[in-house]
Structure 1
Amino acid sequence: MRIADCGGSLCATLTGLRKPNAKDGRPKRDKYNPDPALRDRPVIGLALVSGMRFDGDVWTGRFYNPDDGRTYAGRIFADGPNRLRLKGCVVGLLCKTQSLTRLD
């Protein structure tokens, strides 16, 4: 994932996967997108984080999950100089946290 400044907010794009291809050998697609016209686009290159704004010590905004085609409210926390924790929630009750480590 490549994280960047997108005009005053934070955004992130998926740049690679451990297993980039589906069972049929084709690149994984955004097959669960709620818009049928977007379901054939490759997952690599998708914007997964958008509209993140800094609020004290945390970034708040939206995460897109191509595994289910949904967009979630979320937060990004620094967890050391080379690690981030991403927390996405559904209705504030059901949350999932994922850690990201910086690659050189």
Structure 2
Amino acid sequence: MVRTLLVSAALAFGAAGAAHAAEPIVGNWKTASGATAEIAPCGGAFCVTLKTGKHAGKRIGNLAGTAGSYSGEITDPESDKTYSGSGSVDGNSLKMKGCVLKVLCKSQTWTRL
């Protein structure tokens, strides 16, 4: 009985991890500035962390969603200001968008590495 519960729990945990791994946003991306950003599962969302460049090691985003469409918060590493953000994956391109009051928006396209 205990063994059955452990196996069931392990399978359930593995399936949840596989769901995150299958998300198209997960991976390394070349940003518009040329730095590398890693997007990885964290909690129930995806964390965006710069891996190279002037701001290496800085977490600049937290996005939730599935199937190539994500929303959350994006931080401009230069100004350290956080904006409402979104991301959409199309093949090897990730369009990132940050907005103030959902009116003033800036977009960048990142490329999968």
TM-score computed with the length of structure 1 as normaliser:
0.68
The percent identity for this pair of structures is 38
* 1:57 Cα deviation after fit: 4.9
* 1:79 Cα deviation after fit: 2.1
Q: Structure 1 CA distance, aligned partners of 2:99 and 2:106? A: 6
TM-score computed with the length of structure 2 as normaliser:
0.63
Structure 1 runs not aligned, ≥5 long: 21-42
Find the counterpart in structure 1 of residue 69 from structure 2. 58
Give the 3-state SS of the residue equivalent to 1:68 in structure 2. coil
Aligned length in residues:
77
Structure 2 runs not aligned, ≥5 long: 1-36
Which protein is bigger by CA-based radius of gyration? 2
- Deviation digits for residues 2-48 of structure 1 (CA, Å, limit 9, x no counterpart): 0000022011100112xx3xxxxxxxxxxxxxxxxxxxxxx210001
Q: Which has the higher helix share?
A: 2
**Mapped pair 1:83 → 2:96:** no
Q: Structure 2 CA distance, aligned partners of 1:67 and 1:76? A: 20
